[in-house]
Structure 1
Amino acid sequence: MRPAARLRSVPAPRDAPPLLLIAHGSRDPRHAATVRALTRRVRAARPGLRVVTGFLDFCTPSVPQVLDGLARDGVREAVALPLLLTRAFHAKSDIPAVLREAPARLRVTQGEVLGPSPLLIAALERRLAEAGLRPGDRSSTGVVLASAGSTDPEAGAVIAEIAREWRHTGWCAVRPAFASALLPRTEDAVRALRAEGVRRIAVAPYVLAPGFLPDRIAGGAREAGADLLAPVLGAAPEVAELLLRRYDEALLPARRLIPA
């Protein structure tokens, strides 16, 4: 397991554009609480950078409300980062659409989604270690990489590729699973590993915040008798570091503006 990491605090330049983190939103209050904890961690790691959060649905403030507030404050440029692990429908359609409605005097650059990234693998391993997996357990443990799922084939293919690559780092096995849209479900992946003789099985939720689909992942893990269930990625320092990397990438000279 990866040792505990400290996220370095690096002050932002005085003219740094604000960072808008865009979350999906959920009726589950744990979702917004987790997103806000992640926002605080990002803010603490880049003192002086204005970091704000907007939600697409269910929670407040909405993305349009945040954009209007930035414009009223005289902000002329901002970077928007989707709190998404794969490029699926929200990143390709919903978020660009809502950002195109920003006030005309506010220029918004949409950064890339978070995954895939070695930092997310590091965050997954951090959560597994926190759940009790010891470094010596790696070679005898099968991992179910459980994501929310998407009807977008690109997103499903990315999860499968992450599982294949992660398997090569010493795990007994790594299998993808999905809480919706795609198969197998978490419980089916756990049972398949058990049927193959894997002695210890851990479920690693590849999701950022609690909610309905993460609860379905956890329920499947318990139903199938997984030996270990890691927490969601949440405000792991690796996630905060990755967000700041995506922010910096969005500000490179060849920045990608919201398509017209």
Structure 2
Amino acid sequence: MEAVLYICHGSRVPKASEEARFFIEKCMSRLSEKVFYQECCFLELAEPSIEDAFTRCVEKGATKISALPILLLTAGHAKSDIPEELIKMKKKYPHITIQYGRPIGVHPQMIDIVEERIKDSQVQISENSSILLVGRGASDPEVQRDFSELANLLSKKTNLSVDICYLAACEPSFEEGLRLAGQREENQIFVVPYLLFTGILMKTMEKKIKTINKEMNKEFILCNYLGYHQILQDVIVSRVHEVIDNTVFSKEILDVPHHA
């Protein structure tokens, strides 16, 4: 029997974990005819853990478990942290076949969500507008490259200038991104958090946007985070099909160090 294990990041903010669970349940309902058993779990900061959810899959009779990281980009969590946990499970249950899928990554449909979040601000976009796309950040060059690619896709679709910055781990920082965006000739800057869920980072951004709007003769509009959008459901379902159908985009977890 085959099971699918959805691995979310987890958050200290209860609302964020609740949003993730509700979203995954919707994805599960769309795959219920194809997949016999499905579980949602978290890498950290929330329950159930990967080990607990994996064990439930085994107890239900799964002989093959397809694990899918519900992450925006291929950073350390997707490359190392999650595979390490799955390797532990492989050692504990050597008879179980584990297939590991890929994160959301650079997907054209994600740009549609960003565009919708800008429109949700109910502020009219004009030729005097630009966009500041804000990522969580990672030291991994692949993450930075992919984020730049997303910004380029967004710029082409909106025909607006798009700057990028990060909340941690790499440059430019959020503060520096605001400053640089403020130096542009455009007077209206849409600040879009490229984040899946609400949390401490959003609250920090809100405070800084309020401050800079008082300090500069520019209008910074903080848009909503991506959230678990209907379009994201489509992307996740396609990623599940990739891994359960054992395409070239999935990899088998063995009891040796593995990187996705």
User: TM-score, normalised to structure 1's length?
Assistant: 0.85
**Aligned residues: CA RMSD:** 2.0
What's the CA shift for 1:174? Answer: 0.5
What's the CA shift for 1:128? Answer: 1.9
What's the CA shift for 1:72? Answer: 0.6
Q: 2:20 aligns with which of 30, 35, 50?
A: 35
- Partner AA of 1:108 in structure 2: I
Q: 1:125 aligns with which of 115, 125, 129?
A: 115
- Is 1:142 matched with 2:130? yes
Judge which range, 55-64 or 32-41, deviates more. Answer: 32-41
**Alignment partner of 2:253: what SS?**
coil
Q: 2:252 aligns with which of 228, 245, 257?
A: 257
After the TM superposition, which segments of 4 or more aligned residues of structure 1 sit over 4 Å from their partners?
none
Q: Tell me, which stretches of 5 or more residues in structure 2 are unaligned? A: 214-218
- Is 1:107 matched with 2:97? yes
- Partner AA of 1:128 in structure 2: I
| Identity across matched positions, percent | 24
- Is 1:230 matched with 2:223? yes
Which residue matches 1:165? Answer: 153
Which residue matches 1:20? Answer: 5
Judge which range, 172-181 or 183-192, deviates more. Answer: 183-192
Q: How many residues align?
A: 243
Q: 2:236 aligns with which of 239, 243, 249?
A: 243
**Alignment partner of 2:251: what SS?**
coil
- Partner AA of 1:237 in structure 2: Q
Cα pair distance change 1:41/1:125, threshold 3 Å: farther
Cα pair distance change 1:131/1:105, threshold 3 Å: farther
Partner Cα separation in structure 1 for residue 179 and residue 69 of structure 2: 34
Partner Cα separation in structure 2 for residue 138 and residue 218 of structure 1: 23
Partner Cα separation in structure 2 for residue 258 and residue 173 of structure 1: 41
Judge which range, 208-217 or 31-40, deviates more. Answer: 208-217
- Is 1:46 matched with 2:31? yes
Deviations 1:85-122 (A, max 9, x none): 11111111110010112222322211111011011111
Which residue matches 1:4? Answer: none
Preserved CA contact (<8 Å) 1:82 1:113: yes
Q: Tell me, which stretches of 5 or more residues in structure 1 are unaligned? A: 1-14
